[in-house]
Chains A and B, each alone.
Chain A
Amino acid sequence: MLYPVVYLAGTLLACLSIKPGFAAVAGEAEAVEETSELLPLSWEEVTELDISTLSRQTQSVKNSPAAAFVITAEDIRRSGVTTLPELLRMVPGMNVAKVNAWNWAISARGFNDLYANKLQVMIDGRSIYDPLVSGVYWGQQNLSLWDIERIEVLRGPSGSLWGANAVNGTVNIVTRSARDTQGGLLFGGGGSEELGFGGVRYGTKISEDSYLRGTVNTAYRDSSADLTATDDTHDNGNAQNATLRMDSQLSRNDQLTLEATLARYRQRGYLIGVTSETPPLWVQNDFGRDGMTGSLQGNWKHTTDSGHLIQTNFAFTQTHWLLGTIQMDRSHAVLDVQHSLPKLDSHQILWGLNFQTVHDQFQNSLTLGFEPAKFAQYNVGWYLQDQIDILDDLKLTLGNRVEHFTFTGWETEPNLRLIWTPNKAHSLWGAVSRAVVLPNRAQHSIRLFVPIPGSSDFVDVKANPDMKTENLLAFELGWRWQILHNFDIDTAAFYNIYDRMQGTQFDGTTLNSPDFAPAFPTNVPIYPATVSNSRQVKSYGVELSANYRANSAWRLQGAYSLNRFDVNYDTSRRWFRDELTEPHSSPNHTLSLRSLYNLTNEIELDAWFRYVGRIVVDRDMAIPDYFTMDLRLGWHPHKDLEISISGQNLLDNQHPEFSDILYIPVASQIQRSVLAQFSWRF
């Protein structure tokens, strides 16, 4: 009922404020002032600036009515890390925990889990969140970090633009254009945990306005330590990646990008497995994931002389993987068309259509199965957004998306955002949005039969075909303050109400019956459990990031977040895991502090401190808070050569960050590591 009223109010406001347009003529004083603001940028950042906008990403972030954060190529290079998830640790509001060498629990604003389901993640617009679990299998994403231009992170809901599952955040990984990656690049390194990694990239011009580049890279990773730290958890493995990207200016008005990716991964590790109906019933063994993902994607941008922009995106992803207990084949296709109209008076309108199909097929086992084993989903969406300049310094954004999903039918994801920029130093924004978490294929059709961690009983989790969407109503407030020309802070606060959140309830106890698992011993207690939309959760928090450029050689960046929960559920029922999930599995406090220091023009010394609060997972496994530090020493002995040595997690021998013994029965600890890297351009 709220939404129509809000729209109407916004419309009236917008229409009342029609006024003549202003011609923006920069005076001399303004030219000097604007330039002064850009002086603190580092050389690398300056060389990345586009002439047409000249706004570095962080500046466009300043104008956005949302909690946005950008990780630049320079941030990536100077982090010393080798994987995507580690980079996200610098973003306020993000929860990043390494489960073992290949598995991560990553979420925004809490609800973190091995299969966290409230984050949309894209590479150049292609969603990499997995429709089976609505999470991301981070271990399958091993693209070369040298190919990334920037990572845009939006906390909070953005369902009206990105659709279902862009609930607590959206991460868009933008890779470099083939034009910007001409020539060769050879990179590699090795160390105590990243045993060896390397690759080669080559970019070439194929015609007057077309560029092509290809990258192949590989990584070999060592196992993590087990809880006693005397042995490892056998989660070593390797991954290979190949990417081909073509960028072409077809005409003055048409731009085409085509990208093909092939990824292979072999991740060892102990996983669950009821391997037979006869004793030993289930074994804990190396049931690691062995898989291959191929994708083809394209983006065609057409601008008309009258200022219309039409963008067509398509992506096709084929995935095949094999675990000890199950095998999956899936085709996933997405087509997205977006039309931005030229600015008309005070209105900036865009709308789009979206179509997606997911076809999958499983080879089920007794431990894990999906019924039906073969299934197809067809989802369609339509969205519309209008950005209205109510006053010179006040902008209103109204957006809505209406989608139809195979599992749940029609859904709507409206949002309203307002930003007020009274002067250059301050901007204040607020938003009210609705977003939905779609029941995924797993919730809809899973059958999971595993021992209950820490007991000899079994749980038989049944899916619920009547699962509905989890709904979020989010309230956000943000304030950005440029305190000095070289010091700014960005704060955001949120209050989220989640309704119909999923939960797993026990339906009683039974002893095994011969028709369930014929050869299974009849005296084994089995707890049947069902997934349903039966809880309400409220969460609130504050996020803060600060940037200080002491001088041209020294930059400091800090990020802090506070997150708390209030969970409401029927305590008279018996619950499976859920009752602890939110308040305990996400840390209350998270802190990141980075220092980027140029000792000379050729030598860089970078440090990164992190604090993550205590969490409790798997009912009673406490993961203590930890404080850790990374150091990196980088050297450019020649204009085309970079060498660096870095140490990660230097403050302790090892520490656990997360655990999910339901799926990965042996908990791991993350070890201190050293790493040497080089990159050479030719």
Chain B
Amino acid sequence: MNRFAKLSVVLLLLSVSVCLSRPAAADDALVSREYQLKALYLFHFVELTEWPKADQVTICLWGDSPLRAYLPALDGQQVGGSTVQAVSEPLPEMARCQILFLSDPHTLTQDILNQAESRHILLVSDSEDFAERGGMIQFTLRNNKLKLIVNLAAVKRAGLKLSSKLLRMAEIVQ
């Protein structure tokens, strides 16, 4: 080994050992990243869902969820020909919503399902068994990625059509 190569290695080692002192502060933002990603998914649902009539798509959130912090980013965005509106009120009127995210699993009642069907509302949640219980799109975590479980029958009953592009990524339950 040549002299300078040796010297450079020694110096680098030296510098490393001299400077080591304190452990760094832990940084855990996993939860917020997960919800940030969910917000992005909701945004794309606007273009991947066909409503019987919609020139404006309103995204609503019921309940307490970290998602709330990210929704304002979607507000006012243009998708295709329609404008996205993200409602920040805690409990907006269901009639205003085209996409409704339910953070609390107990909110999914037969009444809500009936209303969603008649008003063509896409029901989304990240609570367990949401899709099996009649919800339309359920988020789930798998291998560090977000996956979708879709209840296709429920989507159809509400007169909605999901793009094959979305369904390619989804697991279908009946």
Contact = CB atoms under 8 A, between A and B. Distances in A.
Contact of A638 (B18, B41, B164): B164
A645 B44 CA distance: 27
Contacts of B19: 11, 14-15, 18, 345-347, 388
Given A24-B27, A32-B70, A400-B9, A639 B167 contact: yes
Interface stretch (B76-84, B90-98, B108-116, B121-129): B76-84
Nearest to A399: B12
Given A11-B11, A384-B9, A54 B33 contact: yes
Given A11-B19, A343-B24, A52 B30 contact: yes
A4 B2 contact: no
Nearest to A386: B16
Contacts of B1: 402, 404, 410, 412
Interface stretch (A36-44, A263-271, A320-328, A649-657): A36-44
A278 interface: no
A23 B12 CA distance: 29
Interface in B144-174: 144-146, 163-169
Interface string A256-283: 0000000000000000000000000000
B16 A349 contact: yes
B23 interface: yes
Contact of A398 (B12, B36, B37, B79): B12
B12 A386 contact: yes
Q: Is the interface of B mostly helix, strand, loop or mixed?
A: helix
Contacts of A398: 12, 15
Contacts of B47: 43, 552, 601
Interface in A633-674: 636-640
Contact of B25 (A8, A15, A22, A54): A22
Contact of A7 (B8, B24, B70, B145): B8
Contact of A601 (B2, B9, B12, B165): B165
A551 B144 contact: no
A393 interface: no
B163 A345 contact: no
Interface string A618-640: 00000000000000000011111
Contacts of B168: 636, 639-640, 681
A183 to B, nearest CB: 11
Contacts, number: 177
A473 to B, nearest CB: 13
Contacts of A503: none
Which range holds the interface residue count of chain B?
Answer: 35 or more
Interface in A1-43: 1, 3-4, 7-8, 10-11, 14-15, 18, 21-24, 26, 28, 31-36, 38-39, 41, 43
Nearest to B18: A15
A35 B12 contact: no
A410 to B, nearest CB: 4
Contacts of A21: 22, 24-25
A638 B146 CA distance: 22
Contact of B16 (A180, A347, A402): A347
Contact of A31 (B14, B16, B70): B70
Nearest to B49: A601
B69 A11 contact: no
A194 B62 CA distance: 54
Given A51-B33, A414-B8, A386 B165 contact: no
A31 B41 contact: no
Contact of B15 (A22, A35, A386): A386
Contact of A412 (B5, B72, B78): B5
Nearest to B23: A344
Contacts of B169: 47
A34 B18 CA distance: 37
A507 interface: no
Interface of B: 1-2, 4-5, 7-9, 11-16, 18-25, 27, 29-30, 32-34, 36-37, 39-41, 43-44, 47-48, 69-70, 72-74, 77-80, 141, 143-146, 163-169
11 contacts: A4-B7, A11-B15, A21-B25, A32-B69, A51-B30, A177-B143, A344-B23, A347-B20, A410-B1, A410-B2, A639-B165
